[in-house]
A = this chain, B = another copy of it.
Amino acid sequence: MSQSLLENLIEQLQCLPGVGPKTAQRMAFHLLQRKRQAGKELSVVLNEAMDNIGQCSECRNYTELELCGICQNAKRAIDGTLCIVESASDLAAVEQSAQFSGRYFVLHGCLSPIDGVGPSEIGLFQLEQMLENGHVSEVILALNPSVEGEATSHYIADICKSHNISITRIAHGIPVGGELEMVDSSTITHALMGRKQF
């Protein structure tokens, strides 16, 4: 017997992250029973999004436009700061804090020669051109403190130094509300090294 449409739907839903056969089945029945209209709307938006969302030509964030909303905003260019993040979700997290009013640059990864990810794959040549234009006064690194993140940070720092642009890095330490005894020793090391005058 060939696969039924329902079986096909349950299988395709498993392309979503964290969705296995049981969850996919639950989703399929939920849509069929109560949310047919919403399911159809999701189908339309999903198709449009997969076709039309590309990367912003300036910051490489996901957008269906040539320039994303943040890069279009002149006020954010005046600020002169450029925050470099590894992924679009990291950008969303920084943006949600509402503490940053400059522009972003999304790497979509980190330098990792073993996996064949070099400077061009993560847009570092594009970043260098941007810095040459002279509109950026400070680069803020918001990369993860992993081995690849460190390597990428050092690479970007070298570019900044050669263009005389100041470079900073967000603080790594104990999260607010985090309990000291529950925090891993690598974070505590960062917290100790980053201590400040009280």
Contact = CB atoms under 8 A, between A and B. Distances in A.
Interface of A: 1, 4-6, 8-9, 12-13, 15-18, 23, 25-33, 35-36, 38-53, 62-65, 69, 87-89, 92, 108
Contact of A25 (B33, B50, B53, B89): B89
Interface secondary structure of A, over-half rule: helix
A49 B33 CA distance: 12
A47 to B, nearest CB: 4
Of the listed residues A8, A15, A52, A65, the one surrounded by the most CB atoms of chain B closer than 10 A to its CB is: A15
Contacts of A38: 12, 15
A49 to B, nearest CB: 4
A91 to B, nearest CB: 10
Contacts of A45: 5, 8-9, 12
A29 B69 contact: no
Given A26-B89, A62-B32, A92-B25, A12 B108 contact: no
Contact of A49 (B39, B51, B89): B39
Contacts of A39: 15, 46, 49-50
